[in-house]
Structure 1
Amino acid sequence: MIKLSLVMIVRNEEKKLERCLKSVQALVDEIVIVDTGSEDSTLEIAKAYNVKLFQYPWNNHFSEARNFALSKSTGDWNLILDADEWVTKGNRQQLNTIMDNQQAIGRIRITSSFFDGEESYTHCYTSRLIPRGIFYKGRIHEQIDSALPRVDCELEVAHDGYYKTDKSERNLALLLSEIQDYPDDPYLHYQTAKEYYGISDYENANKHYVLSYTYLSGYENYYPNVVVDYLYNIMKYGNMQKGLEIIQSEETRMRDFPDFYFVCGLFYMNLVSSDVSKYLHLLLQIQSNYIKALEIGETSKYLTVEGTGSYAAAYNLGVFYETTGDTQEAIRYYKEAEKYNYRPALNRLAALNH
C-alpha cells in the first residue's frame, strides 16, 4: 500500500488552516506541518487534526523550509499544499493512478482568485505531487528540483492567498536577494516584475520584464506569461512601439494562447485611443484579436486568466462593436458573455434594453 503524506509549511494561518486540513484529510495517510513561527492559534488548530508538527526557525528561504518539512515525511509520495489552498475536487483513487504506475511529478489544477477592480480567477496546473526524495530549490517562488516528467492529476485546488492581500514587501526583498546570486535568471526577474506591477511601480516592473524577456531561452513553460504580462506593463508604463514589436515577433509562438490575443485587443484599443489619426488603420486589430481569443477558447495548457477565451473577450468585442456603431453585433456578443452571468454584459444589455 502506497503511503501519501500532506506536507505543509505554515505561519499565522489560524483563519485558513482548518479549511485546508478538512478538505484533504480523507486523501492522505499522514499530515506533516512545519511551523515557522506562528503567534496565533495555528498550532492548536493543527494539533486537533493529529498532525506531525515540527518547528523551523524562519530564515527567509522557502525551499529550505519546505525541504525540512519533506525530510520529516514518511510517505512514499508527498502532496504539497499551502494553508490558503483547499481541495475542491478529486479523490484518492485518482491520485493512485499516478502513484501506482508512474515515476513522475503530478501536476494539480489550481484556481487562484485575485482582485483587479473585480473578482477574477487564474487557472494553471502546478507540480505538487512528488515521490519521496524529491526536493525544492529557490529562495522564493520555489520550484521542484527534478527532471522527472510531469503528468496531470485529477485533483483541483482553490487558492485565495493573493485575494485583497499584499505580500509584495516580503516577496520583493527575497526576490531581489535571490537575483544578486542569480542575476541572469529570467524566472526571478519575471516574478520581481510581477511584484512591482502589483504595487503600481511600472518603471521598476519594466526593468525586470526587459531582463526576463532578454534572458528567456524560449523553452520555458512560463514564456507565454512573460510576454502577456510584459504587454500589460507596457500599456501602463508606455513605450507602445516596443509593444508592437513584441506582438509582431511573438504571434506565431502564441497562436494557441487566448490571453495573448486578449491583451493584444486591449493593446490596440489603447494604441488607437492614444492617437486616432496616427493609428486608425489599426482599428480592426481590436476586433480580430478578440475574435481569435474566442476561437481558441479557454485553455488548460497555460496559466490563464479566466474569461480571456470566453466571456471577457466576448464582452470587450461587444464594447468594440457598440463603440463603432454596430449595435446588433454588440448585442450578439454581450449575449455571449451573458451566458456566463458576466455582470458588465448584463448591465450593457439592460442599457440597450435587451
Structure 2
Amino acid sequence: MKRLSVCMIVKNEEALLSRCLDSVQGIADEIVIVDTGSTDRTKEIAARYTSLIFDYTWSNDFAAARNESLQHATGKWILVMDADEYLAVEDYDQWNDFLDKEESISHLAYTLPIINFTGDKEYQDDMTTSPVTRLFPNGKGIRFERPIHEQLTRGELGELYHKKIDLNIYHTGYQDQRVAEKDKHTRNMQIFEQMKKNQQLSEYDWFTLGNQYRYAKEEQQALECYERALQGADPKLAWYSHCLVGLITLYYKTDQIARSWQLTEQQLIKFSEYPEYHTIKGIHLETLGFFDEAASCYTEAIELAEKRAKGNKEFWLIDPAYSFESPVQQLISMSFRLNNNQQAIYWLSRLLNKNNKNPRVLLQLVEWLSQNEKESAIIEFLNKTYDKHNKADSLLLFKVAAALGQAEIAGYYHQYLHTQNEISDLDRLQFAMLQNDQKSWKKLLAQHAIEVTEDNKQHLWSYAAAGSFIWNEFETFFDFMNKLQDPELAELASMIMIIAKNEAPDQGLAEQHADSWFVLAKQLFLLRQFEWFDRLVNIVRTPQLVNHLANYFYNLGLTEMAMNYYSILLSQGALNGVSLENLGMYHLNHGYHEDAVGFLDHALQDEPGKRYLYTLLIRSAEGKDKLTYIERFKSQFPEFMSISFVKRFVEEQYVSAK
C-alpha cells in the first residue's frame, strides 16, 4: 500500500502549481489532482508529476470538490493541499518520521499550522498562522462538509477528533498580488452570502468569514464576525484561540484598548501557559507607558517558549512569532526609546542569531555598530554569525555594508563574491562611491542602466547627487536626472545646482523635500564627506531636516552630535514631537526630572495621542503638577480607567501626590 496521497483541487494555477508539486516530491507516493475548469497550462504542468488528473464541474462547493479528490486516493495517509501552498525541504525528515511511525486511528485527524505570508514579499515578519486539519488516514470514512473553509467529518460514524502536530504548510494565497490575480475575496464572499441566505453559518463559519474580511482590510466587518464566532464557542476548539487573538488584535489596532485588554485578561489568560498571552499583555503595558512591566512580560514570553521547547511541548499557541520574534522586536524598539542602547544591541544580536537571513535586522544592527565600533571588530562579529564563503551570506553582507557606507566592510565581503554578476548596478554605484571610483560612478550614470523604482528612487538620486558634489560632476548628474524624467527629482536637481553655488534654495521648496535632503545628508555623512555634509546642512537648514538629523544621531548613540542639533532647534523653538520626546527621555534617564517634564509636556502637546507620555509625566511630576497630569489623562482617556493596571497606577500616584 502506498504511504501518502496528496490530494488537490485546482483551477488556472499555472503560476504556482510547479512550486507546490516540486515541494511534495520528497514525501508523496501519489498526487491526485481534480481540475475544476482550468483554461491555462495547469493540466499540462500537472501531467509532468502525475497521471491522476480528473475533471470536475465546479458547483460553488469546496467540500464536494475535495471529496471527489479523496475518492481517487490509494495511500494510507491523505494530505490535502492547495496550489498556492508548499512544503519546506528542511521539514522532510520530520514529515517522513511522522508518516512512518504514527499509528492510523479511524477517528483521529491532524491539525497543522498553515504559515500565511500576507504581504507583498515573503519576509518572515509578514506572516500569520492558522490551524487547519489537512492530514488524516484514508479509508476510514473521513470526508469534507461545508461549501467554504470546508471541515472534515466522519458523519454518522461518530465524532472526529483533532490532534495538533508541528508539521508546517506554507501559504502565499493571501499575498496582495496573488489576491488581485485570483480575486479570491469576491469568489469567497459569493459563497458566504449564499450560506447566509440558507442560514448555514456556524460559529466556525463566522470565524472564517472574519478572516476573509480581515485579509480584505475590512476591519469593522471582521470585528463583528469574530465577536459572533466567539459567542458560546468552546475554548477547546482548535480555531478558538486564533479567533480570540484576532479579535484582540483588531480591538487594539482600532484604538479600542480597553476592550482588547479586557479580552486579554478575561479570556486569553486561560492560555497563559503559552507565550502569546505574555507578549500581548506586554504590548498593552508598553502602549500605556509601563515599560519595566512590559519588558518583564516580553522576557517571560521568551523564557516560557524556550522552556516548553526543551520539554518537547508546543511552544506557541497560534503563531511562532509570539514566542521570540515579536517580544524581541518590542524589546529592541523599547530599549532604543529608553536610550538603553546596549540592551537594544543585545536583543538585536539574539534576533540575528535566530534568523540571520533577515536584512532589516542586520541593517539595523550594523548601522548602530558602525558608529560605535571599529570596522575590524564588526567584521569579526559578523564572521561568527555568517559564512563568508557562502555566496548568499557574502552577498547579503556586502549589500548591507555598501548601503551603510562602510567601505572596509563592503570591500572585505566583496572579495568573497564569486562573480560581479551577483550585484546589481545600484550596488555597483554604491561601491564605486565607497572606493572613490569616479570613473565607474560616471560610467554607470551615463549608461543609465539602473532600473528606477519607487523603492530605490531616493537612494539613487542621493548617490548621484553626492557624487556630483564630491567630484564636481554636475553635468553628469544633470544628464542622468533629465533621463529619469521624474518631476520631483528634477525639482531636487535644480536645487542641487543652487546649493553648489553656495546659495540657499527656496525655503518652502526645501522644507517640502526635507525627507530627500535628509537622505542625501545621511549619505554624505556615511561616506565621511563631512565638509560637504556641513555645507549642505548649513545651506538648506530647514527645521524638519535638522530634526531628522538630530534624531538620527540620537538613535545611533551619537549623543553629543544630537545635542548640538537639538540646541539649535531649541533656540529656534523648532523641536518637533520626536525630538522633544527624545530630549525628555534623555533628561529622565539622567535624573533631571524637572527638565524631562518640560520636554515631555511639549511633546504631548505636539502629539496628544501618545498615551505612554501621560504615564511618564505622572511618574516624573510632583505635587500639584502630578495631580494636573492625572486629571488630564482621565479626561483624555476615561475608558482607560477600566483597565486594571491603569486604575491601580492612577490611585497610587494620586495618593503620592497628596
Which of these residues, 123, 134, 140, is aligned with residue 128 of structure 1? 134
Displacement of 1:108 in angstroms is 4.8
User: Take 1:312 and 1:303, find their aligned partners in 2: how far apart are those partners?
Assistant: 14
* Letter paired with 2:368: L
User: Take 1:246 and 1:154, find their aligned partners in 2: how far apart are those partners?
Assistant: 27
Q: Does 1:158 align with 2:170?
A: yes
Displacement of 1:267 in angstroms is 3.6
Q: Name the CA shift for 1:229/1:78 in 2 (closer, same or farther; >3 Å).
A: same
Find the counterpart in structure 2 of residue 321 from structure 1.
Answer: 335
CA RMSD of aligned residues (A): 3.0
* Letter paired with 2:240: Y
Which of these residues, 314, 324, 330, is aligned with residue 310 of structure 1? 324
TM-score by length of 2: 0.48
Q: Structure 2 regions of 5+ residues with no counterpart?
A: 373-658
Displacement of 1:222 in angstroms is 1.8
Aligned length: 344
Q: Does 1:249 align with 2:266?
A: yes
Q: Does 1:196 align with 2:213?
A: yes
Which of these residues, 215, 220, 225, is aligned with residue 242 of structure 2? 225
User: Take 2:51 and 2:223, find their aligned partners in 1: how far apart are those partners?
Assistant: 44
Q: Name the CA shift for 1:267/1:196 in 2 (closer, same or farther; >3 Å).
A: farther
> For the pair shown, which has the larger CA radius of gyration, 1 or 2?
2
Identity %: 27
User: Take 2:26 and 2:325, find their aligned partners in 1: how far apart are those partners?
Assistant: 36
Find the counterpart in structure 1 of residue 276 from structure 2.
Answer: 259
Contact 1:194 / 1:205 at 8 angstroms: preserved in 2? Answer: yes
Q: Does 1:286 align with 2:282?
A: no
Spell out the pairing of 1:136-147 with structure 2 (5 A cutoff). Answer: 136-146=144-154, 147=159
* Letter paired with 1:114: T
Q: Name the CA shift for 1:288/1:175 in 2 (closer, same or farther; >3 Å).
A: farther
* Letter paired with 1:56: Y
Find the counterpart in structure 2 of residue 236 from structure 1.
Answer: 253
Contact 2:291 / 2:334 at 8 angstroms: preserved in 1? Answer: no
Displacement of 1:255 in angstroms is 0.7
Q: Does 1:9 align with 2:9?
A: yes
Instruction: After superposition, give the CA deviation of every residue in 1:212-234 in whole Å (9 maximum; x if it has no partner).
Output: 22232222112221121111111
Q: Name the CA shift for 1:257/1:85 in 2 (closer, same or farther; >3 Å).
A: same
User: Take 1:19 and 1:118, find their aligned partners in 2: how far apart are those partners?
Assistant: 14
Find the counterpart in structure 1 of residue 568 from structure 2.
Answer: none
* Letter paired with 2:171: H
Find the counterpart in structure 1 of residue 109 from structure 2.
Answer: 105
User: Take 2:85 and 2:200, find their aligned partners in 1: how far apart are those partners?
Assistant: 31
Q: Name the CA shift for 1:196/1:320 in 2 (closer, same or farther; >3 Å).
A: same
Displacement of 1:320 in angstroms is 1.1
User: Take 1:324 and 1:151, find their aligned partners in 2: how far apart are those partners?
Assistant: 44
Instruction: After superposition, give the CA deviation of every residue in 1:306-337 in whole Å (9 maximum; x if it has no partner).
Output: 43211331121121122123333222222222
Displacement of 1:140 in angstroms is 1.3
* Letter paired with 1:313: P
Instruction: After superposition, give the CA deviation of every residue in 1:106-147 in whole Å (9 maximum; x if it has no partner).
Output: 445544333278723445664323222310112211111143
Greater mean alpha carbon deviation, residues 160-169 or residues 40-49: 160-169
Instruction: After superposition, give the CA deviation of every residue in 1:72-92 in whole Å (9 maximum; x if it has no partner).
Output: 334454221222223333365
User: Take 1:168 and 1:134, find their aligned partners in 2: how far apart are those partners?
Assistant: 28
User: Take 1:153 and 1:203, find their aligned partners in 2: how far apart are those partners?
Assistant: 33
* Letter paired with 2:266: S
User: Take 2:39 and 2:317, find their aligned partners in 1: how far apart are those partners?
Assistant: 34
Find the counterpart in structure 1 of residue 390 from structure 2.
Answer: none
Instruction: After superposition, give the CA deviation of every residue in 1:53-108 in whole Å (9 maximum; x if it has no partner).
Output: 22111122111110122223344542212222233333656413236x54332445
Greater mean alpha carbon deviation, residues 190-199 or residues 33-42: 190-199
SS of 1:79's partner is strand
User: Take 2:239 and 2:50, find their aligned partners in 1: how far apart are those partners?
Assistant: 38
Structure with bigger helix share is 2
User: Take 1:239 and 1:153, find their aligned partners in 2: how far apart are those partners?
Assistant: 34
Contact 1:30 / 1:51 at 8 angstroms: preserved in 2? Answer: no
Find the counterpart in structure 1 of residue 49 from structure 2.
Answer: 49
TM-score by length of 1: 0.84
User: Take 1:246 and 1:22, find their aligned partners in 2: how far apart are those partners?
Assistant: 43
Contact 2:2 / 2:29 at 8 angstroms: preserved in 1? Answer: no
Contact 1:213 / 1:226 at 8 angstroms: preserved in 2? Answer: yes
SS of 1:161's partner is coil
SS of 1:115's partner is coil
Displacement of 1:269 in angstroms is 3.8
* Letter paired with 1:95: L
Greater mean alpha carbon deviation, residues 314-323 or residues 172-181: 172-181
Greater mean alpha carbon deviation, residues 107-116 or residues 166-175: 107-116
Q: Structure 1 regions of 5+ residues with no counterpart?
A: 273-279
